[in-house]
Chains A and B, each alone.
Chain A
């Protein structure tokens, strides 16, 4: 019996492939890598490109990934694919945007959070919901 390993290709928004294979080829940062079962542990970032796998039956499948991370354990290969295109400056501007949104919401509110008030109002709201539930059961 040929040696096999398990491969999982997942992205944040869905599962792309999961199954038993004999070979995996992935576009690692330093160039394409080919992985056979019992490969030593490896962790690498991926470039946008094609991940190819060869199944037990000898069929070949290819999947496009737009970057991500490759983890290799002797019998498990995990490809964590990115869904979003990323670059340091894009991330930075997204962070800035989130901050400005928050600042706009926080205008003229510099004092400390009023926990007692928040708590009491929440307790009241929860009590109201509970009371409604009880009322509903009664009827």
Chain B
């Protein structure tokens, strides 16, 4: 019964794999709930920030912030790519990188150069493999990213814009639609554009305290950071649900495999028994 033994050890190893995938599925499921709550909690800030920004865009202010102005000539563009730190989450990162690379190659064809800022290990591995020009990077943010961890990375990109090194800034991340669906999203951060609120269509302006420029600068910086932070938090929720789904299907596949192997094993066992009986019978007949 050499064949049967081999099959048995094979079944054992598949069972062990199944245990792992099952455990990972459950871990991802519990983390997903927390990640989703965090995503919901971060949403009001990003929304209010967008509201304030669109008000500001309509205020008749003497100081126009550079982040609100379109630069006509685009020589170099920047991307902030938000990915996961770990794999085993299905096609989540791959689909997002594809969206990013498609967009990048369009700029590339126009002769525009590209700078990348990566958040998450997968993005930095991916872009360094293809010799992308990574100018800032952050990873190992964990499941509860703090905004502090992102300030530095975002500042590098904003400085690059201020110095005229890049003329556009995009944010690439995954958008959480629901547990089953995550879609890659590409958003233009700079120049920023707000929605128009028709109620505010008359001539008005804010009272600025202490002064116009510093406060608008501070506001714009926080706006960009909040959008990136929202992207990161959302990406974690995406990662967890994608991993949960991937691990669930891996567990299902493993049970299918075990079932098949079990049939093969039974057949082999049956064949060995049959053979033994016929050997005994023919042995008895010979006597």
Contact = CB atoms under 8 A, between A and B. Distances in A.
Interface of A: 8, 10-15, 18, 28-30, 33, 40-45, 69, 71, 73, 78, 80, 82-84, 86, 90-99, 101-102, 105-106, 109-115, 117-119, 122-123, 125-126, 129, 136, 139
Interface of B: 38, 41-42, 44-45, 48-49, 51-52, 55-56, 59, 90-91, 94-95, 97-98, 101-102, 104-105, 108, 114, 117-118, 124, 126-139, 146-148, 151-153, 155-156, 159, 204-210, 214-216, 218-219, 222, 225-226, 229, 249, 253, 256
Nearest to B107: A115
Q: What 9 A-B pairs have minimum CB-CB distances, sorted nearest first?
A: A94-B152, A44-B209, A95-B155, A98-B152, A14-B41, A113-B132, A118-B130, A15-B44, A129-B91
A98 B124 CA distance: 12
Given A8-B48, A13-B42, A42-B209, A102 B152 contact: no
Contact of B218 (A12, A33, A69, A126): A69
Given A69-B219, A95-B152, A115 B104 contact: yes
Contacts of A42: 206-209
A28 to B, nearest CB: 6
14 contacts: A14-B44, A43-B216, A44-B209, A44-B215, A78-B48, A83-B148, A84-B146, A94-B152, A95-B152, A101-B136, A109-B128, A112-B131, A113-B133, A136-B249
Contacts of B222: 69, 80, 82
Contacts of A84: 146-148, 151
B270 to A, nearest CB: 25
Given A102-B134, A102-B136, A105-B137, A91 B105 contact: no
B173 to A, nearest CB: 16
Contacts of B98: 119, 122-123, 126
Contact of B136 (A99, A126, A129): A99
Contacts of A18: 44
A15 B229 CA distance: 15
Given A12-B226, A29-B210, A43-B219, A73 B55 contact: yes
Contacts of A83: 146-148
Contacts of A92: 155
A96 B138 CA distance: 12
B134 to A, nearest CB: 5
A78 B42 CA distance: 15
A83 B145 CA distance: 12
A8 B210 contact: no
A71 B55 CA distance: 10
Contact of B49 (A80, A96, A99, A105): A80
B45 A15 contact: yes
